[in-house]
């Protein structure tokens, strides 16, 4: 009879794994298909800058500090663009997917990490459930197909969190009394244990996998620095917060080999900073330091210009609110899981080797779950660290806390299992319906362009770029740009050239004939736009209008539309 029951449980477990694997595959497919085939959003936020950097690298070979439209130095380290460059080279400058491929691959990789770790931490099928929850959030739906470094940064920080936690769990060497009081029963090793090198080591032993994981941790930190700079500090702070609870002593941070890890992880970023200083010292001081770092933190630039340090207080609840909304509805389960893990429970556990009699009667509940509880406690600590750390700034954006979501979904999946009991049907049906509903809303919102600056603008940009490219390919001539603003039009046409009055004036003297793409000012602009025919006539040339885009108003700083002109020098000039 026991054999029949065991077989039945195994069958249900296998069915649960297959079910959530199918759900995860479907969720990923829906996200990618909806985003790739849906309305383009490459003109949103600062995506045109990122796209322009990649184009500049490929066109001019400025791999260390690329320029936006051949004029403005990059405001972020270059790793995202390095990853995107091969895809853009193969798929073309006008391929939206190529420019966003680093984010797409990072989303898939994050889901894979959550699956692997979830299966190891919470049991069969739960990793797939957590990954499905991750994909079915607005934050990942947006960032997973965005030409910005946030999703790539999320991947590196998630890997760093995983590696640091595994090393510190492995360094836990409690006393014999503590081991008896904790009553932790070691489980038979699984395929996930082999992959992660899981399991605390017996006192006096050394696991060679911990050294490999320490290398992985510092490599992920180095890549995080090269992706977005200072946010990598979160990974470097995390071990100090978690070492004592997980390993029983603060000195366990030595297991991460910090004496060589810290300098090596900072070396690539430091080399980039030095290179920027050598080539553009003013940019390093005035833009990267004063505007991007100090200005955002102190409220003089960025999301809170002129708000000042007072914005630390007035916007203190923004990041928690972003977490609740961007990870909804699963964020509620995450909070529930943290409460369940961090509440005080009576008896049934130990204190990590530093306990006394009071430790038996009042311990944190996560300790009663053994090694799995340690992983969950590390996940909860990471989520709180990310939300709190990025709240310590006057400028706040929801994308800053993206790295909190992968561990948060592990907590949400575990919390769901805690509140639903043993019913396999309830465990599967309700999250499946919720995930399907969330995905439907995300796809509907994307298709209807909820929150877009201008509905239909993405397709209008695509149409103009496609038509212009066909015209340019049919008759190759020098191509000049003027007044295109912060758009991606120039980058998608494979150009990265300054749009200055001097460069435009020089084009009329240098070329007998050329193509000119000009931006029109919106009707709401305070002054008239650039009159191409009159400008050409004054310089002895004739400008013929070839194509005009639909009107694309956004802000006074952006073009209200685009025109393609053929400029021919008049005979005798």
On the 0-12 / 13-18 / 19+ scale of CB atoms within 10 A, 454 is middle
Confidence check: pLDDT of 200 > 70: no
Are the beta carbons of 344 and 154 closer than 8 angstroms?
no
Confidence check: pLDDT of 24 > 60: yes
**DSSP assigned state of 402:** G
Are the beta carbons of 492 and 93 closer than 8 angstroms?
yes
Residues 6+ apart with CB under 8 A from 105: 83
Measuring CA to CA, which residue among 503, 462, 465, 464 is closest to residue 481? 503
Are the beta carbons of 182 and 350 closer than 8 angstroms?
yes
Whole-angstrom CA distances from 532 to 19, 116, 362, 541, 556 are: 61, 59, 78, 10, 19
The percent of the chain in helix, strand and coil, each rounded to the nearest 5, is 65, 5, 30
Res 141: pLDDT: 94
Locus of tokens 């102190």: 298
Res 573: pLDDT: 57
Whole-angstrom CA distances from 549 to 474, 492, 543 are: 19, 15, 17
**CA gap 363, 365 in Å, rounded:** 6
Domain ranges of the chain: 75-420, 457-569
What are the DSSP calls for 413-444, one per residue? HHHHHHHHTT-HHHHHHHHHHHHHHHHHHHHH
Q: What is the pLDDT of residues 524-572, one digit of tens each?
A: 544 556 788 888 888 889 999 999 888 775 554 567 788 999 999 887 6
Residues 6+ apart with CB under 8 A from 560: 519, 520, 521, 522, 523, 525, 529, 551, 552, 553
- Residue 211 backbone dihedrals phi, psi, to 5 degrees: -65, -40
Res 174: pLDDT: 52
pTM over the 0.85 mark: yes
Higher pLDDT pick, 449 / 521: 449
Whole-angstrom CA distances from 387 to 317, 320, 331 are: 10, 6, 13
**CA gap 293, 502 in Å, rounded:** 33
**CA gap 234, 227 in Å, rounded:** 14
**CA gap 435, 333 in Å, rounded:** 13
* DSSP H/E element including 516: strand 513-520
Most confident of 25-29, 172-176, 221-225, 555-559: 221-225
- Residue 520 backbone dihedrals phi, psi, to 5 degrees: -90, 145
Confidence check: pLDDT of 523 > 60: no
**CA gap 409, 133 in Å, rounded:** 6
Here the tokens at position 40 are: 């383009």
**DSSP assigned state of 96:** H
Angle between helices 208-228 and 258-279 in degrees, nearest 10: 20
In terms of residues, how long is the chain? 573
Locus of tokens 């470097």: 236
Secondary structure (3-state) at 451: coil
Confidence check: pLDDT of 347 > 70: no
Here the tokens at position 391 are: 């709240």
**CA gap 157, 234 in Å, rounded:** 8
Confidence check: pLDDT of 108 > 60: yes
Q: What is the pLDDT of residues 43-78, one digit of tens each?
A: 888 899 999 999 999 999 999 999 999 899 999 999
The 3-class secondary structure across 247-304, one letter per residue, is HCCHHHHHHHCHHHHHHHHHHHHHHHHHHHHHHCHHHHHHHHHHHHHHHHHHCCCCCC
**CA gap 404, 384 in Å, rounded:** 8
Here the tokens at position 526 are: 């305070």
Res 99: pLDDT: 97
pLDDT classification of 360: cutoffs 50, 70, 90:
very low
**CA gap 277, 257 in Å, rounded:** 30
Total H helices, total E strands in the chain: 25, 8
Are the beta carbons of 83 and 151 closer than 8 angstroms?
no
**CA gap 470, 39 in Å, rounded:** 21
Locus of tokens 């919102």: 445
Here the tokens at position 19 are: 């079910």
Higher pLDDT pick, 304 / 286: 286
Locus of tokens 């005979």: 571
Res 236: pLDDT: 97
Confidence check: pLDDT of 436 > 50: yes
Buried b (16+ CB within 10 A) or exposed e, 405-421: bbbbbbbbbbbbbeeee
Question: What is the overall mean pLDDT for the chain?
Answer: 83
Of the given ranges (113-117, 137-141, 171-175), which has the lowest mean pLDDT? Answer: 171-175
Res 123: pLDDT: 74
């Amino acid at each position: 009879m026991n054999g029949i029951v065991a077989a039945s449980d195994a069958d249900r477990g296998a069915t649960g794994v297959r079910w959530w694997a199918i759900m995860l595959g479907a969720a990923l497919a829906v996200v990618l298909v909806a985003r790739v085939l849906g309305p383009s959003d490459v003109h949103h936020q600062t995506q045109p800058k990122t796209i322009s950097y990649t184009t500049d690298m490929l066109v001019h070979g400025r791999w260390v500090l690329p320029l936006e439209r051949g004029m403005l130095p990059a405001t972020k380290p270059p790793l995202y663009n390095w990853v995107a460059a091969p895809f853009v080279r193969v798929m073309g400058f006008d391929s939206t997917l190529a420019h966003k491929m680093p984010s797409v691959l990072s989303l898939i990789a994050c889901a894979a990490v959550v699956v692997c770790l979830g299966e190891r931490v919470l049991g069969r099928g739960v990793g797939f459930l957590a990954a499905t929850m991750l994909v079915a959030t607005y934050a990942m739906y947006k960032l997973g197909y965005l030409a910005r470094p946030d999703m790539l940064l999320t991947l590196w920080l998630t890997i760093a969190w995983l590696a640091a936690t595994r090393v510190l769990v492995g360094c836990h060497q409690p006393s014999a009394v503590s081991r008896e009081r904790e009553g932790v029963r070691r489980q038979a090793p699984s395929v996930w244990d082999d992959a992660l090198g899981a399991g605390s080591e017996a006192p006096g032993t050394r696991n060679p996998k911990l050294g490999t994981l320490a290398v992985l941790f510092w490599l992920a930190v180095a890549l995080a620095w090269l992706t977005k700079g200072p946010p990598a500090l979160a990974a470097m702070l995390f071990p100090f917060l978690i070492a004592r609870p997980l390993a029983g002593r603060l000195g366990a941070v030595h297991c991460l080999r910090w004496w060589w890890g810290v300098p090596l992880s900072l070396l690539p970023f430091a080399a980039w900073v030095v290179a920027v200083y050598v080539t553009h010292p003013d940019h390093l001081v005035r833009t990267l330091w004063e505007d991007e770092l100090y200005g955002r933190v102190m409220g003089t630039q960025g999301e809170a210009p002129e708000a000042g340090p007072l914005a630390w207080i007035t916007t203190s609840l923004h990041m928690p609110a972003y977490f609740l909304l961007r990870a909804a509805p699963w964020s509620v389960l995450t909070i529930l899981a943290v409460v369940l893990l961090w509440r005080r429970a009576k008896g049934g556990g130990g204190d990590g080797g530093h306990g006394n009699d009071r430790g038996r009667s009042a311990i944190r509940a996560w300790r009663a779950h053994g090694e799995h509880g340690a992983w969950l406690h590390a996940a909860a600590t990471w989520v709180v660290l990310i939300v709190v750390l990025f709240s310590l700034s006057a400028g706040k954006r929801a994308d800053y806390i993206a790295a909190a979501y992968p561990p948060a979904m592990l907590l949400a999946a575990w919390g769901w299992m805690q509140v639903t009991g043993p019913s396999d049907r309830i465990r599967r049906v309700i999250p499946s319906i919720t995930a399907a509903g969330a995905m439907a809303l995300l796809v509907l919102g994307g298709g209807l362009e909820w929150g877009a600056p201008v509905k239909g603008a993405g397709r209008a940009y695509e149409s103009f770029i496609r038509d212009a490219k066909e015209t340019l390919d049919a008759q190759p001539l020098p191509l000049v740009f003027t007044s295109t603003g912060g758009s991606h039009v120039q980058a998608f046409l494979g150009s990265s050239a300054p749009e200055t009055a001097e460069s435009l004036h020089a084009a009329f003297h240098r070329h007998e004939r050329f193509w000119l793409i000009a931006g029109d000012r919106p009707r709401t602009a305070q002054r008239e736009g650039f009159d191409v025919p009159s400008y050409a006539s004054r310089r002895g040339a004739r400008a013929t209008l070839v194509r005009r885009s639909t009107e694309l108003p956004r802000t006074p700083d952006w073009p209200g539309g685009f025109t393609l002109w053929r400029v021919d020098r008049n005979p005798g000039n």
